[in-house]
Structure 1
Amino acid sequence: MPIPDYQALMLPVLAIAAEGETRVPLAAETLADRLALTEAERDEMLPSGKQRLLHNRVHWAKFYMSKAGLIDSPKRGVFVASDAGKALLATKPQRIDVDTLKGYPAFAEFYGQTGTSSQPDQVAATVAATNSDATPEEQIDAAHAVLTAALKADLLQRVLEQSPAFFERLIVELLVAMGYGGSHEDAARQLGKSGDGGIDGVIDEDRLGLDRIYVQAKRYAAGSAVGRPEVQGFVGSLVGLGASKGVFVTTSAFSRQAIDYAKALQQRVILIDGARLTELMMEFDVGVRVSRMIEVKRLDQDFFDYDT
């Protein structure tokens, strides 16, 4: 079953906390058993890969309820239901969520503090976090995924709008950024100068030029997949040159036959389609630059545990 959102977990988390002192990992394990979650569901990670999804949602359920005074933390990492929390459970509520918590003055004060901020986007972010079914980390990851997808689409469109010469320069920039070719000047001299059948250029694999990679670049519009015959022609050129390594780059995609063919080769031939091309451009900062960085900080428990 899908892991419930953090608001749906508030009631079961409070019920577990009413049974005695617990910790987030223990509460998450108990919940996983009660919900009959599979091993895969228990181990599901946030998109960032930094934390288990279930643990994250249990944490935020606990956090918001603690702001309402329903949960106490008697010591580091431990939480338990407060008298107010037990009193709420005694009413046998069907659900506990943010709207429920707004009925508690402590939470209302915490919630209302967002409206006093002088930074509108901070207010919006905090309000969204308390109203959404997604935890703050999930919202950050989701927003990042949307921005990344939009940037990839924009990158590919801009590449398609440029000239073939620009595309060659892009490949040079990318390969050099990835550590190949030695320098922009050396790589530029080699790429686009071969003119040997299916080879568009050759670039050094290392700075000393001990080994070389042959390159084929096809700037195709979306929907025009590169098929096996084109990849086969590229491989034939590699064989004729006695080369064992090649990179075939396209702005479109490769057919399944082309991909299967490349996998079965003795030569090492890497196929880079439009999606992978934009991923590499973003990873190695080619054609993109940082627009905004958000630094997320957490409480430093070691600092507060330090006893002079």
Structure 2
Amino acid sequence: MFRATETGKALLAKNPASIDNETLKSYPSFVEFQKAGSAGQTKAEKPVAEAASASSATPEEQIDAAQAVLHSALSGELLQRILDNSPLFFEQLIVDLLVAMGYGGSHESAALKLGKSGDNGVDGVIDEDRLGLDRIYVQAKRYAATNTVQRPEVQGFVGSLVGFGANKGVFVTTSNFSAGARQYAEQIPQRVILIDGARLTDLMIEYGVGVRISREIKVKRIDEDFFGEG
């Protein structure tokens, strides 16, 4: 697991054209990191390692690596923003996300059905399709990262589904699920999807909820058909 430092976040906020060794050498902590890594290398190994660091990755691979760093930083910031806001904001966020994913028919109808906390163990219900032929029950827990959702909480949610005669549910949390909770959800006849904080932010980024495009990079290649004479 990697976590961006405040220095790293400050660098990302500048939207640098590239992040390479030359850029990072301006940071004393990176220089110390390089020294520590090279301390155990022989004189013959050092040039090889430096060459591999400089030239082994293609430009596209470097772009992918930079995008992964940006994605990770954005996910962390999204999760913190969610925790900084109210439970009502969190419930509205779930509405926005589910509608963006194609559930609920329309934003207005979805918003009327979600956000009613304490309704017999569920936080809301949303139509699976525009005609309302099937419904999905939702439980939303805005927990700190250290407050892991355990099996009894998932069992309680499933018990509520049985009470409603439902067989589909989504349990969303900003924290994590224990191994016991995940194992239980996989074994029951009801279809219950567990969405933890990491998966939640991934879906938000994928469906454009709470984020916007800051910059796009288009990678172009030779059009072989254009240059083909045959």
TM-score by length of 1: 0.57
- Which residue in the other structure is 2:156 paired with? 233
Identify the residue that residue 25 of structure 2 maps to in structure 1.
Answer: none
The answer for the alignment partner of 2:173 in structure 1 is 250
In the TM superposition, what is the alpha-carbon distance from 1:196 to its structure 2 partner?
2.3
CA contact (8 A) 1:194 1:202 kept: no
CA displacement 1:213-249 (0-9 Å, x = unmatched) = 0000000011110000000000000001100000000
2:215 corresponds to 1:215 = no
Pick aligned residue for 2:91 from 129, 152, 168: 168
Report the Cα distance in structure 2 between the residues aligned to 1:252 and 1:185, rounded to whole angstroms: 28
Amino acid at match of 1:304: F
Q: Matches of 1:134 and 1:194 in 2, distance apart?
A: 50
What is the SS of the residue equivalent to 1:225?
Answer: coil
Off by >2 Å, runs of 4+ in structure 1: 130-133, 193-197
Structure 2: where are the runs of 5+ without partners? 1-47
Contact 1:224 1:252 (C-alpha < 8 Å) held by counterparts? yes
Indicate yes or no: 2:192 matched with 1:266: no
Report if aligned partners of 1:248, 1:269 keep a CA contact under 8 Å in 2: yes
Tell me how far 1:197 sits from its aligned partner: 2.5
Matched, 1:286 2:209: yes
1:38-68 alpha-carbon deviations (Å, 9 max, x no partner): xxxxxxxxxxxxxxxxxxxxxxxxxxxxxxx
Q: Indicate whether 1:299 and 2:222 are aligned.
A: yes
- Deviation per residue, 1:143-162 (Å, 9 max, x gap): 01000000000010101101
Matched with 1:178 is 101
Give the Cα separation in 2 of the matches to 1:194 and 1:306: 67
1:71 corresponds to which residue? none
Q: Distance in 2 between matches of 1:299 and 1:184?
A: 43
- Structure 1: tracts of 5 or more residues without a match: 1-96, 101-129
129, 154, 168: which one aligns with 1:206: 129
- How far has the Cα of 1:306 moved from its partner? 2.8
In the alignment, structure 1 residue 143 sits paired with structure 2 residue 66:
yes
Q: What are the residue-to-residue correspondences of 1:72-221 with 2, within 5 Å?
A: 131-193=54-116, 195-221=118-144
Shift of 1:195: 3.2
For each residue in 1:161-198, what CA deviation from the matched residue of structure 2 results, as whole angstroms up to 9, or x when unmatched? 01000000000000000000011110111002263222
Deviation at 1:300, TM superposition (A): 1.1
Aligned Cα root-mean-square deviation (Å): 2.1
Letter in structure 2 aligned against 1:266: P
Change (3 A) 1:257 1:179: same
What is the TM-score of this pair, normalised by structure 2?
0.76
The structure number with the bigger radius of gyration is: 1
Checking the alignment, whether the CA contact within 8 Å between 2:92 and 2:115 is kept in structure 1 is no
* SS of 2:153 mapped into structure 1: helix
Percent same amino acid among aligned pairs? 73
Say whether the 8 Å CA contact 1:196–1:237 is kept in structure 2: no
Query: In 2, distance between residues paired with 1:185 and 1:276?
Result: 25
Structure having greater relative contact order (Cα 8 Å, sep ≥ 6) = 2
1:132 Cα deviation after fit: 3.5
